[in-house]
C-alpha cells in the first residue's frame, strides 16, 4: 500500500515537473490601466421616491486602441467581477439585469455584479434597472472600482482596469449620498 502511494506521488511530481503547475506558478504582474468613467448610474440625484428607477451600466470595450490591447482576444474571458461595484447596496430593491450577471458570493449574502462579454458589440457589459421599493438612505463609493481579467488558461490576472462612476473623480474617494423617500 505504501509503495503504491509513493509511486503515485512520484508520478504526480514528474508530471508537475514536466508540465508545470499553474496553482503554484508565480504570476507575472498584470498590466494595469486607469480608464475613467466606465460605469454610469442614471439619473444621479440626491432624493428619489419609492417607485423611481435608476439604470446602472458598466461597459468595457474589449479592444482599447490607445493601449493596443484586445482583452477578449488575449484572455478569452467571458465574464468577470466588478470589484467595488457597490451593487450590493441596492439589495432589497427590485433589480432587473439586462446584460451581465448578479450573483451572491462569499457567505451567500453579498450581491455582486459581473460584466459579460458581448461579441456583437465586442465589449464587456453590465446593465441593470433598479427600482427603489423601500425608503432608506444610501452611501455609494464612486471611485476605486476594479475589473480584473484572467486568462482562461491560467489563474493569473492579465489585465487590471481601475475606473469610477461617471460624474465623479477617479481618485477622489467621493461618496454619493442619497435617500429614497415614500
Other CB atoms within 10 A of residue 51 CB: 11
State residue 131's pLDDT score: 98
Confidence of residue 118 (pLDDT cuts 50, 70, 90): very high
pLDDT tens across 30-77, in order? 889 899 999 999 999 999 999 999 999 999 999 998 889 999 999 999
Q: Where are the domains of the chain?
A: 28-181
Mean pLDDT of 136-155: 87
CATH number given to 28-181: 2.60.40
pTM of the predicted structure, to 2 decimals: 0.80
Amino acid at each position: 500500500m505504501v509503495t503504491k502511494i509513493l509511486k503515485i506521488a512520484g508520478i504526480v511530481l514528474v508530471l508537475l515537473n514536466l508540465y508545470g503547475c499553474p496553482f503554484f506558478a508565480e504570476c507575472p504582474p498584470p498590466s494595469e490601466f486607469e480608464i475613467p468613467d466606465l460605469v454610469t448610474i442614471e439619473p444621479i440625484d440626491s432624493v428619489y421616491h419609492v417607485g423611481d428607477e435608476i439604470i446602472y451600466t458598466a461597459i468595457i470595450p474589449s479592444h482599447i486602441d490607445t493601449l493596443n490591447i484586445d482583452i477578449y482576444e488575449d484572455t478569452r474571458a467571458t465574464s468577470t467581477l466588478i470589484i467595488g461595484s457597490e451593487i450590493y447596496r441596492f439589495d432589497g430593491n427590485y433589480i432587473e439585469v439586462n446584460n451581465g450577471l448578479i450573483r451572491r458570493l462569499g457567505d451567500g449574502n453579498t450581491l455582486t455584479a459581473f460584466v459579460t462579454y458581448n461579441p456583437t458589440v465586442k465589449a464587456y457589459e453590465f446593465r441593470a434597472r433598479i427600482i427603489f421599493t423601500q425608503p432608506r438612505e444610501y452611501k455609494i463609493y464612486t471611485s476605486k472600482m476594479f475589473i480584473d481579467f484572467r486568462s482562461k488558461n491560467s489563474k493569473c490576472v492579465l489585465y487590471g482596469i481601475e475606473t469610477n462612476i461617471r460624474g465623479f473623480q477617479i481618485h477622489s474617494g467621493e461618496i454619493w449620498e442619497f435617500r429614497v423617500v415614500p
